Amino acid sequence: MAAPLVRPDVNRSYDAAHAALVQWFTDEAFHITSPWRLVLEACRQFVAAGVPLQQFSAFVYMLHPNFFGVAHRWDRATGKVKSTLGRLDVLASDAFKKSPVHVIYGGAAAIRRRFERPGFKPDFAVLKDYIDAGATDYVMMALEFTDGARHCVSMTTDRPGGFTIDELRLVDGLVPYMARLTEIQSNRYLARTLLDTYVGPDAGEAILTGNIRRGSAETIHAVIWMCDLRDFTRFSETLPRDELIALLNAYFQCVGTPVRERGGEILKFIGDAMLAIFRVTSPAAAAEDCRKAAEAVSDARLQLEELNTRRLAAGKPALRCGIALHIGDVSYGNIGTPDRLDFTVIGPTVNLAARLTTLCGEIGETAVLSEAVARASQLHVESLGRHTLKGIAGAQEVFRLLGPPAILSETGSLDLK
Protein backbone atom coordinates (compact mmCIF):
# COMPACT_ATOMS: atom_id res chain seq x y z
CA MET A 1 0.00 0.00 0.00
CA ALA A 2 1.29 3.46 -0.88
CA ALA A 3 2.38 5.68 1.97
CA PRO A 4 -0.12 8.44 2.78
CA LEU A 5 0.63 11.87 1.41
CA VAL A 6 1.56 14.33 4.15
CA ARG A 7 1.24 18.07 4.49
CA PRO A 8 4.42 20.07 5.12
CA ASP A 9 5.30 19.92 8.80
CA VAL A 10 6.12 23.50 9.71
CA ASN A 11 7.21 22.41 13.18
CA ARG A 12 9.69 19.78 11.96
CA SER A 13 13.37 20.61 12.46
CA TYR A 14 15.01 19.93 9.13
CA ASP A 15 18.43 20.54 10.67
CA ALA A 16 17.73 17.66 13.03
CA ALA A 17 16.44 15.56 10.15
CA HIS A 18 19.62 16.35 8.21
CA ALA A 19 21.81 15.29 11.12
CA ALA A 20 19.88 12.04 11.53
CA LEU A 21 20.12 11.24 7.82
CA VAL A 22 23.83 12.05 7.73
CA GLN A 23 24.34 9.58 10.55
CA TRP A 24 22.32 6.95 8.66
CA PHE A 25 24.33 7.46 5.47
CA THR A 26 27.67 7.23 7.27
CA ASP A 27 26.89 4.47 9.79
CA GLU A 28 24.33 2.20 8.10
CA ALA A 29 24.07 2.91 4.39
CA PHE A 30 27.82 2.44 4.07
CA HIS A 31 27.30 -1.29 4.55
CA ILE A 32 24.68 -1.66 1.80
CA THR A 33 26.35 -3.32 -1.19
CA SER A 34 23.41 -3.40 -3.63
CA PRO A 35 22.70 -0.18 -5.63
CA TRP A 36 18.96 -0.78 -5.83
CA ARG A 37 18.87 -1.57 -2.12
CA LEU A 38 20.63 1.70 -1.36
CA VAL A 39 17.96 3.58 -3.34
CA LEU A 40 15.17 1.69 -1.58
CA GLU A 41 16.47 2.33 1.93
CA ALA A 42 17.37 5.96 1.19
CA CYS A 43 13.82 6.62 -0.04
CA ARG A 44 12.41 5.08 3.14
CA GLN A 45 14.63 7.38 5.18
CA PHE A 46 13.58 10.47 3.19
CA VAL A 47 9.89 9.63 3.54
CA ALA A 48 10.30 9.04 7.28
CA ALA A 49 11.99 12.46 7.50
CA GLY A 50 8.92 14.07 5.92
CA VAL A 51 9.98 14.41 2.27
CA PRO A 52 6.76 13.69 0.26
CA LEU A 53 8.31 11.53 -2.45
CA GLN A 54 6.14 10.15 -5.19
CA GLN A 55 9.04 8.82 -7.25
CA PHE A 56 12.83 8.83 -6.88
CA SER A 57 15.45 7.76 -9.46
CA ALA A 58 19.22 7.45 -9.54
CA PHE A 59 20.93 7.60 -12.96
CA VAL A 60 24.52 6.33 -13.06
CA TYR A 61 26.89 6.09 -16.00
CA MET A 62 28.94 2.88 -16.13
CA LEU A 63 31.70 1.34 -18.18
CA HIS A 64 30.18 -1.65 -19.95
CA PRO A 65 30.53 -3.09 -23.48
CA ASN A 66 26.76 -3.10 -24.09
CA PHE A 67 25.23 -0.42 -21.82
CA PHE A 68 26.07 3.19 -21.02
CA GLY A 69 24.34 3.36 -17.65
CA VAL A 70 21.70 2.14 -15.24
CA ALA A 71 18.63 3.75 -13.67
CA HIS A 72 17.22 2.63 -10.31
CA ARG A 73 13.68 3.96 -9.84
CA TRP A 74 11.67 3.83 -6.62
CA ASP A 75 7.91 4.36 -6.77
CA ARG A 76 5.72 5.14 -3.76
CA ALA A 77 2.77 3.22 -5.21
CA THR A 78 4.68 -0.08 -5.15
CA GLY A 79 7.32 0.65 -2.55
CA LYS A 80 9.80 -1.16 -4.81
CA VAL A 81 12.80 -0.28 -6.96
CA LYS A 82 12.98 -1.12 -10.67
CA SER A 83 16.39 -1.16 -12.35
CA THR A 84 16.79 -0.47 -16.08
CA LEU A 85 19.91 -0.65 -18.23
CA GLY A 86 20.47 1.99 -20.91
CA ARG A 87 21.62 0.65 -24.28
CA LEU A 88 24.60 2.33 -25.94
CA ASP A 89 22.53 3.39 -28.95
CA VAL A 90 20.32 5.51 -26.68
CA LEU A 91 23.21 7.97 -26.17
CA ALA A 92 22.96 9.12 -29.77
CA SER A 93 19.17 9.41 -29.78
CA ASP A 94 17.28 12.71 -29.86
CA ALA A 95 15.25 11.56 -26.85
CA PHE A 96 18.40 11.39 -24.72
CA LYS A 97 19.85 14.63 -26.07
CA LYS A 98 16.60 16.39 -25.14
CA SER A 99 16.34 14.88 -21.65
CA PRO A 100 17.04 16.38 -18.20
CA VAL A 101 19.78 13.77 -17.69
CA HIS A 102 21.68 15.15 -20.67
CA VAL A 103 21.43 18.67 -19.26
CA ILE A 104 22.87 17.53 -15.91
CA TYR A 105 25.65 15.58 -17.62
CA GLY A 106 26.39 18.75 -19.58
CA GLY A 107 27.18 20.70 -16.42
CA ALA A 108 23.93 21.88 -14.77
CA ALA A 109 23.87 21.48 -10.98
CA ALA A 110 20.10 21.01 -10.76
CA ILE A 111 16.80 21.28 -12.64
CA ARG A 112 13.38 22.06 -11.18
CA ARG A 113 10.01 22.13 -12.90
CA ARG A 114 6.86 23.15 -10.99
CA PHE A 115 3.96 21.69 -12.91
CA GLU A 116 1.24 23.63 -11.05
CA ARG A 117 2.41 27.03 -12.21
CA PRO A 118 -0.07 28.73 -14.55
CA GLY A 119 0.71 28.16 -18.20
CA PHE A 120 3.42 25.58 -17.52
CA LYS A 121 4.50 23.70 -20.67
CA PRO A 122 6.87 20.74 -20.37
CA ASP A 123 10.19 21.40 -22.11
CA PHE A 124 11.30 17.75 -21.80
CA ALA A 125 9.22 14.89 -23.20
CA VAL A 126 9.72 12.76 -20.09
CA LEU A 127 7.98 15.38 -17.95
CA LYS A 128 4.67 14.56 -19.64
CA ASP A 129 4.76 11.11 -18.06
CA TYR A 130 5.22 12.60 -14.59
CA ILE A 131 2.41 15.09 -15.16
CA ASP A 132 0.11 12.29 -16.32
CA ALA A 133 0.98 10.42 -13.10
CA GLY A 134 -0.24 13.40 -11.06
CA ALA A 135 3.11 14.93 -10.12
CA THR A 136 3.14 18.57 -9.06
CA ASP A 137 6.89 19.15 -8.75
CA TYR A 138 10.02 17.67 -10.37
CA VAL A 139 13.64 18.09 -9.29
CA MET A 140 16.89 16.62 -10.65
CA MET A 141 20.24 17.09 -8.88
CA ALA A 142 23.77 16.25 -10.00
CA LEU A 143 25.86 13.59 -8.28
CA GLU A 144 29.53 14.35 -8.85
CA PHE A 145 32.15 11.65 -8.32
CA THR A 146 35.71 12.32 -7.13
CA ASP A 147 37.01 11.95 -10.71
CA GLY A 148 34.67 14.68 -11.94
CA ALA A 149 32.22 12.29 -13.60
CA ARG A 150 28.62 13.50 -13.36
CA HIS A 151 25.59 11.37 -12.52
CA CYS A 152 22.22 12.42 -11.11
CA VAL A 153 19.15 11.73 -9.00
CA SER A 154 15.60 12.93 -9.64
CA MET A 155 12.45 13.06 -7.54
CA THR A 156 8.82 14.03 -7.89
CA THR A 157 5.97 14.72 -5.51
CA ASP A 158 2.24 14.81 -6.09
CA ARG A 159 1.53 16.93 -3.03
CA PRO A 160 -0.25 20.20 -3.86
CA GLY A 161 2.27 23.02 -3.75
CA GLY A 162 5.19 20.69 -4.46
CA PHE A 163 8.37 20.45 -2.37
CA THR A 164 9.15 23.07 0.28
CA ILE A 165 12.49 24.88 0.37
CA ASP A 166 13.42 23.01 3.55
CA GLU A 167 12.67 19.64 1.93
CA LEU A 168 14.82 20.48 -1.07
CA ARG A 169 17.55 21.80 1.22
CA LEU A 170 17.44 18.52 3.16
CA VAL A 171 17.89 16.34 0.07
CA ASP A 172 20.47 18.67 -1.48
CA GLY A 173 22.55 18.56 1.69
CA LEU A 174 22.68 14.77 1.44
CA VAL A 175 23.73 14.68 -2.23
CA PRO A 176 27.48 14.48 -1.37
CA TYR A 177 26.84 11.42 0.80
CA MET A 178 24.77 9.78 -1.91
CA ALA A 179 27.52 10.56 -4.42
CA ARG A 180 30.26 8.94 -2.32
CA LEU A 181 28.26 5.76 -1.67
CA THR A 182 27.17 5.58 -5.30
CA GLU A 183 30.78 5.98 -6.43
CA ILE A 184 31.94 3.15 -4.16
CA GLN A 185 29.25 0.85 -5.51
CA SER A 186 29.92 1.95 -9.08
CA ASN A 187 33.61 1.10 -8.70
CA ARG A 188 32.73 -2.34 -7.32
CA TYR A 189 30.42 -2.92 -10.27
CA LEU A 190 33.08 -1.67 -12.68
CA ALA A 191 35.68 -4.10 -11.31
CA ARG A 192 33.32 -7.06 -11.59
CA THR A 193 32.05 -6.05 -15.04
CA LEU A 194 35.55 -5.67 -16.46
CA LEU A 195 36.68 -8.99 -15.00
CA ASP A 196 33.55 -10.79 -16.23
CA THR A 197 34.02 -9.25 -19.68
CA TYR A 198 37.72 -9.91 -20.10
CA VAL A 199 38.43 -13.11 -18.13
CA GLY A 200 34.97 -14.63 -17.51
CA PRO A 201 32.75 -14.74 -14.40
CA ASP A 202 34.40 -17.73 -12.67
CA ALA A 203 37.93 -16.46 -13.20
CA GLY A 204 36.76 -12.96 -12.29
CA GLU A 205 35.31 -14.19 -9.01
CA ALA A 206 38.56 -16.00 -8.24
CA ILE A 207 40.55 -12.82 -8.88
CA LEU A 208 38.22 -10.67 -6.75
CA THR A 209 38.60 -13.11 -3.85
CA GLY A 210 42.39 -12.71 -3.92
CA ASN A 211 43.57 -15.47 -6.26
CA ILE A 212 46.07 -13.21 -8.04
CA ARG A 213 49.46 -14.65 -7.14
CA ARG A 214 51.56 -15.79 -10.09
CA GLY A 215 51.76 -19.57 -10.21
CA SER A 216 48.72 -20.13 -8.00
CA ALA A 217 46.50 -22.77 -9.57
CA GLU A 218 44.08 -25.58 -8.86
CA THR A 219 43.40 -28.83 -10.64
CA ILE A 220 39.90 -29.06 -12.01
CA HIS A 221 38.07 -31.60 -14.18
CA ALA A 222 36.55 -29.93 -17.22
CA VAL A 223 35.29 -30.34 -20.75
CA ILE A 224 37.61 -28.31 -22.96
CA TRP A 225 36.13 -26.50 -25.95
CA MET A 226 38.51 -25.17 -28.59
CA CYS A 227 37.58 -23.76 -31.97
CA ASP A 228 39.11 -21.70 -34.72
CA LEU A 229 38.06 -20.08 -37.97
CA ARG A 230 39.19 -21.58 -41.25
CA ASP A 231 40.95 -19.39 -43.86
CA PHE A 232 41.45 -16.58 -41.35
CA THR A 233 44.84 -15.71 -42.84
CA ARG A 234 43.22 -15.12 -46.23
CA PHE A 235 40.50 -12.99 -44.65
CA SER A 236 43.02 -10.93 -42.69
CA GLU A 237 45.07 -10.24 -45.82
CA THR A 238 42.17 -9.28 -48.07
CA LEU A 239 39.55 -7.59 -45.89
CA PRO A 240 39.61 -3.99 -44.59
CA ARG A 241 40.23 -3.71 -40.86
CA ASP A 242 36.68 -2.83 -39.82
CA GLU A 243 35.14 -5.56 -41.96
CA LEU A 244 37.59 -8.12 -40.55
CA ILE A 245 36.73 -7.13 -36.97
CA ALA A 246 33.01 -7.30 -37.75
CA LEU A 247 33.53 -10.76 -39.27
CA LEU A 248 35.33 -11.98 -36.14
CA ASN A 249 32.70 -10.54 -33.82
CA ALA A 250 29.89 -12.19 -35.79
CA TYR A 251 31.74 -15.51 -35.79
CA PHE A 252 32.56 -15.40 -32.08
CA GLN A 253 28.95 -14.56 -31.29
CA CYS A 254 27.87 -17.70 -33.16
CA VAL A 255 30.22 -19.98 -31.23
CA GLY A 256 30.43 -18.10 -27.94
CA THR A 257 26.77 -17.49 -27.16
CA PRO A 258 25.84 -21.21 -27.07
CA VAL A 259 28.76 -21.88 -24.72
CA ARG A 260 27.65 -19.19 -22.26
CA GLU A 261 23.99 -20.20 -22.49
CA ARG A 262 24.82 -23.75 -21.42
CA GLY A 263 26.99 -22.86 -18.47
CA GLY A 264 30.38 -22.85 -20.15
CA GLU A 265 32.98 -20.18 -19.52
CA ILE A 266 34.93 -18.51 -22.30
CA LEU A 267 38.49 -18.08 -21.07
CA LYS A 268 40.11 -16.33 -24.00
CA PHE A 269 40.12 -15.40 -27.65
CA ILE A 270 43.43 -15.98 -29.44
CA GLY A 271 43.25 -14.40 -32.88
CA ASP A 272 40.52 -16.44 -34.56
CA ALA A 273 40.52 -19.17 -31.85
CA MET A 274 38.38 -19.49 -28.72
CA LEU A 275 39.13 -21.48 -25.58
CA ALA A 276 36.28 -22.33 -23.18
CA ILE A 277 35.59 -24.81 -20.40
CA PHE A 278 32.61 -26.60 -18.93
CA ARG A 279 33.66 -27.28 -15.35
CA VAL A 280 32.76 -30.82 -14.16
CA THR A 281 31.79 -30.71 -10.49
CA SER A 282 31.58 -34.47 -9.87
CA PRO A 283 32.08 -37.78 -11.74
CA ALA A 284 28.31 -38.20 -11.86
CA ALA A 285 27.96 -34.84 -13.64
CA ALA A 286 30.50 -35.62 -16.37
CA ALA A 287 27.95 -37.06 -18.81
CA GLU A 288 25.62 -34.07 -18.42
CA ASP A 289 28.45 -31.55 -18.83
CA CYS A 290 29.67 -33.33 -21.95
CA ARG A 291 26.15 -33.24 -23.35
CA LYS A 292 25.87 -29.52 -22.60
CA ALA A 293 29.10 -28.92 -24.51
CA ALA A 294 27.81 -31.08 -27.39
CA GLU A 295 24.53 -29.14 -27.43
CA ALA A 296 26.57 -25.94 -27.64
CA VAL A 297 28.41 -27.42 -30.65
CA SER A 298 25.13 -28.18 -32.43
CA ASP A 299 23.72 -24.74 -31.65
CA ALA A 300 26.93 -23.06 -32.83
CA ARG A 301 26.65 -24.94 -36.13
CA LEU A 302 23.07 -23.73 -36.59
CA GLN A 303 23.97 -20.14 -35.77
CA LEU A 304 26.91 -20.29 -38.16
CA GLU A 305 24.64 -21.65 -40.90
CA GLU A 306 22.24 -18.75 -40.36
CA LEU A 307 25.13 -16.29 -40.50
CA ASN A 308 26.40 -17.87 -43.71
CA THR A 309 22.95 -17.63 -45.29
CA ARG A 310 23.05 -13.88 -44.72
CA ARG A 311 26.66 -13.62 -45.92
CA LEU A 312 26.01 -15.56 -49.12
CA ALA A 313 22.94 -13.44 -49.83
CA ALA A 314 25.18 -10.39 -49.53
CA GLY A 315 27.74 -11.88 -51.91
CA LYS A 316 30.27 -12.71 -49.18
CA PRO A 317 32.02 -16.07 -48.68
CA ALA A 318 30.74 -18.50 -46.07
CA LEU A 319 32.64 -18.98 -42.81
CA ARG A 320 33.94 -22.40 -41.80
CA CYS A 321 35.23 -23.40 -38.42
CA GLY A 322 36.61 -26.36 -36.50
CA ILE A 323 35.42 -27.25 -32.99
CA ALA A 324 36.98 -29.85 -30.70
CA LEU A 325 35.81 -31.24 -27.35
CA HIS A 326 37.97 -33.13 -24.89
CA ILE A 327 37.59 -33.87 -21.16
CA GLY A 328 40.14 -34.31 -18.42
CA ASP A 329 42.09 -32.67 -15.61
CA VAL A 330 43.60 -29.24 -16.22
CA SER A 331 45.55 -26.71 -14.18
CA TYR A 332 43.39 -23.60 -13.71
CA GLY A 333 45.14 -20.49 -12.47
CA ASN A 334 47.59 -17.60 -12.94
CA ILE A 335 50.40 -17.73 -15.48
CA GLY A 336 52.60 -14.94 -16.82
CA THR A 337 55.06 -12.27 -15.74
CA PRO A 338 55.03 -10.59 -12.31
CA ASP A 339 53.12 -7.60 -13.72
CA ARG A 340 51.04 -9.26 -16.47
CA LEU A 341 49.09 -12.40 -15.61
CA ASP A 342 46.66 -14.56 -17.54
CA PHE A 343 44.01 -16.66 -15.78
CA THR A 344 43.72 -19.76 -17.96
CA VAL A 345 43.94 -23.56 -18.18
CA ILE A 346 46.97 -25.59 -19.19
CA GLY A 347 47.95 -29.23 -19.37
CA PRO A 348 47.88 -32.28 -21.66
CA THR A 349 44.07 -32.11 -21.88
CA VAL A 350 44.26 -28.62 -23.38
CA ASN A 351 47.07 -29.65 -25.74
CA LEU A 352 45.04 -32.58 -27.08
CA ALA A 353 41.99 -30.35 -27.61
CA ALA A 354 44.16 -27.92 -29.60
CA ARG A 355 45.46 -30.74 -31.82
CA LEU A 356 41.92 -31.99 -32.41
CA THR A 357 40.92 -28.51 -33.57
CA THR A 358 43.68 -28.64 -36.17
CA LEU A 359 42.55 -32.12 -37.15
CA CYS A 360 39.08 -30.78 -38.00
CA GLY A 361 40.54 -28.87 -40.93
CA GLU A 362 42.71 -31.77 -42.05
CA ILE A 363 39.82 -34.24 -42.31
CA GLY A 364 37.12 -31.75 -43.34
CA GLU A 365 35.00 -31.93 -40.19
CA THR A 366 33.24 -29.02 -38.47
CA ALA A 367 33.44 -30.65 -35.04
CA VAL A 368 35.14 -33.66 -33.48
CA LEU A 369 34.94 -35.32 -30.07
CA SER A 370 37.73 -37.12 -28.30
CA GLU A 371 37.26 -40.71 -27.20
CA ALA A 372 37.03 -39.50 -23.58
CA VAL A 373 34.09 -37.23 -24.42
CA ALA A 374 32.40 -39.94 -26.48
CA ARG A 375 32.66 -42.35 -23.53
CA ALA A 376 31.54 -39.85 -20.91
CA SER A 377 28.62 -38.39 -22.85
CA GLN A 378 27.09 -41.63 -24.20
CA LEU A 379 25.81 -39.59 -27.14
CA HIS A 380 25.08 -41.02 -30.58
CA VAL A 381 28.43 -40.67 -32.36
CA GLU A 382 30.35 -42.16 -35.25
CA SER A 383 34.05 -43.03 -35.26
CA LEU A 384 36.28 -41.11 -37.66
CA GLY A 385 39.14 -43.52 -37.12
CA ARG A 386 42.43 -43.21 -35.32
CA HIS A 387 44.72 -40.30 -36.09
CA THR A 388 48.26 -39.33 -35.19
CA LEU A 389 48.38 -35.88 -33.67
CA LYS A 390 51.50 -33.73 -33.47
CA GLY A 391 53.09 -33.88 -30.02
CA ILE A 392 50.56 -36.43 -28.70
CA ALA A 393 51.73 -39.94 -27.87
CA GLY A 394 49.81 -42.70 -29.63
CA ALA A 395 47.11 -42.51 -32.27
CA GLN A 396 43.84 -41.01 -31.03
CA GLU A 397 40.39 -42.19 -32.04
CA VAL A 398 38.03 -39.30 -32.74
CA PHE A 399 34.29 -39.10 -33.30
CA ARG A 400 31.61 -36.96 -34.89
CA LEU A 401 28.16 -36.23 -33.48
CA LEU A 402 25.21 -37.76 -35.28
CA GLY A 403 22.29 -35.34 -35.03
CA PRO A 404 21.40 -32.74 -32.40
CA PRO A 405 22.35 -33.93 -28.86
CA ALA A 406 18.93 -32.96 -27.52
CA ILE A 407 17.25 -35.76 -29.47
CA LEU A 408 20.00 -38.38 -29.42
CA SER A 409 19.84 -41.67 -27.58
CA GLU A 410 21.87 -41.64 -24.38
CA THR A 411 22.18 -45.42 -24.04
CA GLY A 412 23.22 -48.26 -26.28
CA SER A 413 24.32 -46.01 -29.14
CA LEU A 414 28.06 -46.53 -28.94
CA ASP A 415 30.29 -49.52 -28.46
CA LEU A 416 33.78 -48.50 -27.33
CA LYS A 417 35.05 -51.93 -26.23
Are residues 135 and 24 both part of a single domain? Answer: yes
Are residues 170 and 244 both part of a single domain? Answer: no
Query: Does 356 fall in a domain?
Result: yes
pLDDT at 61 over 50: yes
Are residues 191 and 251 both part of a single domain? Answer: no
Query: Does 355 fall in a domain?
Result: yes
Query: Does 186 fall in a domain?
Result: yes
pLDDT at 216 over 90: no
pLDDT at 315 over 60: yes
Q: Which of 165, 198, 231 is the last residue of a domain?
A: 198
Instruction: Give residue 176's domain range.
Output: 14-198
Count of domains forming the chain? 2
Are residues 186 and 225 both part of a single domain? Answer: no
Are residues 221 and 260 both part of a single domain? Answer: yes
Query: Does 9 fall in a domain?
Result: no
Please tell me the predicted confidence (pLDDT) of residue 10: 47
Residue 296, domain CATH: 3.30.70.1230
Please tell me the predicted confidence (pLDDT) of residue 59: 93
Strands 110-114 and 273-280: unpaired
Q: Which pLDDT tens digit goes with each residue over 345-392?
A: 999 999 999 999 999 999 999 999 999 999 888 788 899 999 999 988
Query: Does 361 fall in a domain?
Result: yes
pLDDT at 292 over 80: yes
Are residues 180 and 228 both part of a single domain? Answer: no
Q: How confident is the model at residue 411 (pLDDT cuts 50, 70, 90)?
A: very low
Q: What mean pLDDT, rounded, does the chain reach?
A: 88
Q: Which pLDDT tens digit goes with each residue over 3-12?
A: 445 555 545 6
Q: Residues of the chain with pLDDT > 70: what percent?
A: 94
Q: How confident is the model at residue 301 (pLDDT cuts 50, 70, 90)?
A: very high
Residue 146, domain CATH: 3.30.450.40
Query: Does 371 fall in a domain?
Result: yes
Query: Does 5 fall in a domain?
Result: no
Are residues 37 and 186 both part of a single domain? Answer: yes
Q: Which of 135, 166, 198 is the last residue of a domain?
A: 198
Please tell me the predicted confidence (pLDDT) of residue 409: 32
Q: Residues of the chain with pLDDT > 90: what percent?
A: 67
Are residues 270 and 375 both part of a single domain? Answer: yes
Q: Which pLDDT tens digit goes with each residue over 90-126?
A: 888 888 888 999 999 889 999 999 999 999 999 999 9
Please tell me the predicted confidence (pLDDT) of residue 289: 94
Q: How confident is the model at residue 1 (pLDDT cuts 50, 70, 90)?
A: very low
Report the 10 Å Cβ neighbour count for 358.
14
Query: Does 32 fall in a domain?
Result: yes
Are residues 75 and 111 both part of a single domain? Answer: yes
Please tell me the predicted confidence (pLDDT) of residue 166: 92
Q: How far apart are CA 388 and CA 372, in angstroms?
A: 16
| Confidence (pTM) | 0.72
Are residues 119 and 180 both part of a single domain? Answer: yes
Are residues 40 and 162 both part of a single domain? Answer: yes
Are residues 182 and 69 both part of a single domain? Answer: yes
SS (H, E, C) the chain: CCCCCCCCCCCCCHHHHHHHHHHHHHHCHHHCCCHHHHHHHHHHHHHHCCCCCCEEEEEEECCCCCEEEEEEEEECCCCEEEEEEEEHHHHHCHHHHCCHHHHHHCCCCEEEEECCCCCCCCCCHHHHHHHHCCCCEEEEEEEECCCCCEEEEEEEECCCCCCCHHHHHHHHHHHHHHHHHHHHHHHHHHHHHHHHHHCCHHHHHHHHCCCCCCCCEEEEEEEEEEEEECCHHHHHHHCCHHHHHHHHHHHHHHHHHHHHHCCCEEEEEECCEEEEEEEECCHHHHHHHHHHHHHHHHHHHHHHHHHHHHHHHCCCCCCCEEEEEEEEEEEEEEEEECCEEEEEEECHHHHHHHHHHHHHHHHCCCEEEEHHHHHHHCCCEEEEEEECCCCCCCCEEEEEECCCHHHCCCCCCCCCC
Q: Based on C-alpha coordinates, what's the Rg of the chain?
A: 28
